[in-house]
Amino acid sequence: MPRIDFDAEREYDDDGFSAQGAFRSERAKVVCGFFEPGQFIPVHAPSSALVVDVRSGTGIVRDGDIDHRVGPGDVVTVSADTKRGIRADEDSRLEALLVTAPPPTDEEHDPVRRGLAVGEFEPELATEE
């Protein structure tokens, strides 16, 4: 089993959140997520379940219509086919272990790419206007 070392994987990016791959199989994907203040993974609804284990910092995890406030030690799960997103607070870096099962498809990440391109946490809302 691979050992996940957050200190070794830690990599922040001024242009957007950083996802450092730790493990991938046909059944699961594990990444170390690093967010500068205010950075986010846009809301999307892939057909995979998500587990977010917050290591440090504060922010929100969107679970359908609910925004869960999170901090160190919090774990949030989001069911498959449910809208989800992650955003660091404006005054805090956020580090979290992110597990998806099964891994989302490239097509399911189109809303993520779209949201990052336009700087929108909720890209579906941005494209409906």
Per residue in 28-66, pLDDT tens? 999 999 999 999 999 999 999 999 999 999 999 999 999
CATH 3.40.640.10 fits 7-128, yes or no: no
What ranges in the chain are assigned the alpha helix state H? 6-9, 110-118, 123-128
Instruction: Tell which residue, 20, 82, 25, has the closest CA to residue 51.
Output: 82
Record the pTM.
0.90
Condensed to tens digits (0 to 9), the pLDDT of residues 96-116 reads 999 999 999 999 989 999 999
Q: 66 has which bridge partners? A: 63
Which one-letter amino acid corresponds to residue 24? R
